[in-house]
Structure 1
Amino acid sequence: MYGVNTYADTNFASITLDNDVFVGKDNGYTNGLYFSLYNVGVGLRPNFWVSPLLWTMPRGYAENRINVHSIGQTLTTAEDITQANPPEGSLPYSGLLKYTNTHIVVGSRFTDWVSTSVGIVGPAAKGKQTQTEFHALIGAEKPMGWDTQLKNEFVFGFSRGRAIRVLASRSDTMDLLAGGQLSVGTISSGVNAAIMLRLGQNLRDSYPTVSLASSRASNPIAVNNSWFVYAGVSANYVFNQIFTDGNTFRDSRSIDYDHNYNTFMTGITYTIGRDSSLSFAYLSSFSDDDTEYSRQTERLNRFGTLTLVWEF
């Protein structure tokens, strides 16, 4: 597994499963499945997908670089999946199939990244088929409201982020990270700022992996025969997001929601043998006010997530 001190080219892959069943629910952001390929090497060049934002990236300090290619499917549903015609104010049914390319520049105390996502939302994303067949497999209730889902639409998004290793113990067993991200696009537009406390081993080598969680395609992961636990909070403001606002250019279902919210995250990750790593995390949003708008936002941002990574 790679770290910031690894200069030889390395390739690895990951599979990530997000599901609200991990937290005892089956509504809102109900499922996400992502497969990612990673190329690691100090001499890597960015892919053309991220060209629009490369001018924002710093020059000269890279100790390593990472190119990430991710493809995944995201599903959202109304609170009561037994209703064929969910009432007004229910979170719209939606399936999103998207590809994301991320370029990460790693330094000793700074990690910067840019990403571009393209995809499709609507019946073409096959969300109805995925959830219906999975529920039949596990004997769960059949979701009835997919005929009300968002319409087919091409979607896109651009993101720019940075993580900073603010503090670190001399033994490299504890550190404090801070960071933020700006996103623009029809998938979502918003800003966030976050802090994270970690306890474990070989933390310097693994701190760049916090950037992998920015697109939900992966989670922070342990590297180089190590482990760590972490907890953090983020402050977020969302200008638009297709899962709640509905289709951008066509009439569709939509809801009002809390644009300003906070997120709590905690997780554990450890390496398995020499070439793989496992990570589990829990995320939940919270707001200063307990309103229906804040509860809608919470349904989109409360889930458990599991990532398996292996080198090849």
Structure 2
Amino acid sequence: MTFRKSIVLAYITLAWVPAAAEEPSGALSIIWENDIFYNSDRDYTNGAEITYVTPPSGNNATIVALARALPFFADKGDVRTSYSLGQDIFTPEHTTLAVPLATERPYAGYTYISLGLMQANQDRLDQLELQLGVVGPMALAKETQFWVHSIIDDDKPKGWHYQLHNEPAVTLTYERSLKIIPPQSILGVVLDIEPHLGGAVGTVYDYANAGAMVRLGFNLPDDFGPLRMQPSLPGSSYFEPQAGFSAYAFAGVDGRIMARNIFLDGNTWRDSPSVDKDLFVGDLTLGAAVTFSSLRIAFTHVFRTREYKTQKSSDQFGAVSLSVRI
């Protein structure tokens, strides 16, 4: 083999060797949750959110010092800031009725912006998020649902006149995720286990939650699972790939003690439609995610227990998320 050929072969070989760890990046994520995946159109029927999370280098010293000072954050790790815009839509089961049944959950929409602070190291992720938004007609949930139904040529729900009234909304959410079993190889695949705990306080939700997730695959990215809309299993809006391609399946549970849910309890300061909620709500989550260098795609199937006393059956819906490192 000539010297020139040796140089060419070495160059090609090095091109296929995974590069050294890159500087942690930011990410832009889009999430869509809907029960259309399972031929349903009731209860939590649609959610959409766009989120940007900064790279650790994108925070100034004041933000980092704030994260370090929080008593429930770790004293070390990468600090990131997130910004989100989202909307949730809730409807009763019988949307063809002009006057909704009193035994079914009320129509409701919620549109919000949020500011989040997170800190992560190899075995722990702390996330604090403040949501500010509006519940009621100003959330434009009716208009969003009518627009989507016109696209898919579906009937428009008839009872939106009875939705919850306009009300400003604020919610503070905290989640801690731990890797009690960090990624390790078992029979040729990589597994990790991530329990979590957290809670929320505010005018939209008051709850405490706990659960765990198991991931199984290869080349698991450095993250805590795909992003989801709250309340749910916590995920991470960022991811750091370990190789050019990875894939994993995941399964998780999350249990919540619900002290308040405005979408069931009704408006805070005035009379509105409402139903008697269940104190305990649980989610069983199954899904899969793949990453292609700077892209992560995930699908999640959620089974949710009954949320209120007169609900006829449990719910299920799907969630699709797309994250791009930038």
- The two structures have a TM-score, normalised by structure 2, of 0.83
Give matches, 1:164-183, under 5 Å.
164-168=178-182, 170-171=184-185, 173-183=190-200
Q: Deviations over 1:211-234 (max 9, x none)?
A: 765456995686413221100112
**1:6 to partner: Cα distance:** 6.2
Correspondence for 1:108:
122
Q: Distance in 2 between matches of 1:155 and 1:127?
A: 15
Question: Of the candidates 283, 307, 311, which is equivalent to residue 321 of structure 2?
Answer: 307
Pairwise CA distance, 1:44: 2.6
Q: Structure 1 residues 122 and 241, CA, compared in 2 at 3 Å: closer, same or farther?
A: same
Correspondence 1:136 to 2:150 = yes
Q: Structure 1 167/294 Cα, relative in aligned 2: closer, same or farther at 3 Å?
A: farther
* Distance of aligned partners of 1:101 and 1:180 in 2 relative to their CA distance in 1, 3 Å threshold: same
* Residue of structure 2 aligned with 1:26, choices 23, 41, 66: 41
Report the AA paired with residue 259 of structure 1. Answer: L
The one-letter amino acid paired with 1:155 is: A
Q: Is 1:61 matched with 2:80?
A: no
1:38-187 alignment to 2 at 5 Å?
Answer: 38-41=53-56, 44-45=59-60, 55-62=70-77, 64-168=78-182, 170-171=184-185, 173-187=190-204
CA deviation after TM superposition for structure 1 residue 142, in Å = 1.2
2:258 is paired with a residue whose SS is strand
In 1, Cα distance between equivalents of 2:68 and 2:314: 30
Q: State the SS of the aligned residue for 2:104.
A: coil
Letter in 1 for 2:144: T
- Matched ranges for 1:246-261 at <5 A: 246-261=266-281
State whether residues 229 and 269 of structure 1, in contact with CA within 8 Å, keep that contact through their aligned partners in structure 2. Answer: yes
Q: Scaled by the length of structure 1, what TM-score is found? A: 0.86
User: Once the two structures are superposed, what CA deviation does each residue of 1:126-182 show, in whole Å capped at 9, x if it has no partner?
Assistant: 111111121111111111010000111000101111111011353371011101111
Q: 1:264·1:285 contact (CA, 8 Å) conserved in 2?
A: yes
Mapped contact 2:209–2:257 kept (Cα < 8 A) = yes
Indicate how the Cα distance of structure 1 residues 54 and 123 shifts in structure 2: closer, same or farther if over 3 A, else same: farther
1:37 and 2:56 equivalent? no
In 1: Cα distance, 2:92 partner to 2:22 partner: 47
Counterpart of 2:256 in structure 1 is 236
The 1-side partners of 2:229 and 2:139 are apart by: 22
Q: Which runs of 5+ in 1 are unaligned?
A: none
Q: 1:220-235 to 2 correspondence within 5 Å?
A: 223-224=240-241, 225-235=245-255
* Aligned-residue CA RMSD (Å): 2.8
Amino acid at match of 1:286: T
Runs of 4+ in structure 1 over 4 Å off: 45-48, 51-54, 209-223
Counterpart contact for 2:68–2:74, Cα < 8 Å: no
1:148 partner amino acid: Y
Provide the secondary structure at the position in 2 that maps to 1:132. Answer: helix
In structure 2, what residue type is equivalent to 1:295?
Q
Query: Is 1:283 the equivalent of 2:302?
Result: yes
**Alpha-carbon distance change, 118 to 297 in structure 1, aligned in 2, over 3 angstroms:** farther
1:293 aligns with 2:309: yes
AA matched with 1:25: S
Q: For residue 263 of structure 2, what is the amino acid of its counterpart? A: F
- Report how far residue 7 of structure 1 moved: 6.9
Among 14, 20, 26, which residue is 1:11 paired with? 26
- The 8 Å contact of residues 134 and 166 in structure 2, kept in 1 or not, is answered as yes
Q: Note the C-alpha offset of 1:296.
A: 6.6
Question: Looking at both structures, which has the greater relative contact order when contacts are Cα pairs under 8 Å and sequence separation is at least 6?
Answer: 1
**How many equivalent residue pairs?**
298
Residue 102 of structure 1: how far off its partner (Å): 1.5
Matching residue of 2:7:
none
Aligned AA for 2:111? L
Find the aligned partners of 1:111 and 1:298 in 2 and give their Cα distance. 31
CA-CA distance at 1:100 after TM superposition: 1.6
Secondary structure of the residue that 2:264 maps to in structure 1? helix
Alignment partner of 1:133: what SS? helix
Q: Does 1:205 align with 2:222?
A: yes
Asked if the contact 1:113/1:211 (under 8 Å) is kept, the reply is no
Structure-1 separation of matches of 2:181 and 2:203: 36
Query: For 1:109 and 1:190, how far apart are their aligned partners in 2?
Result: 25
Change in CA separation of 1:108 and 1:213 when aligned onto 2, cut-off 3 Å: farther
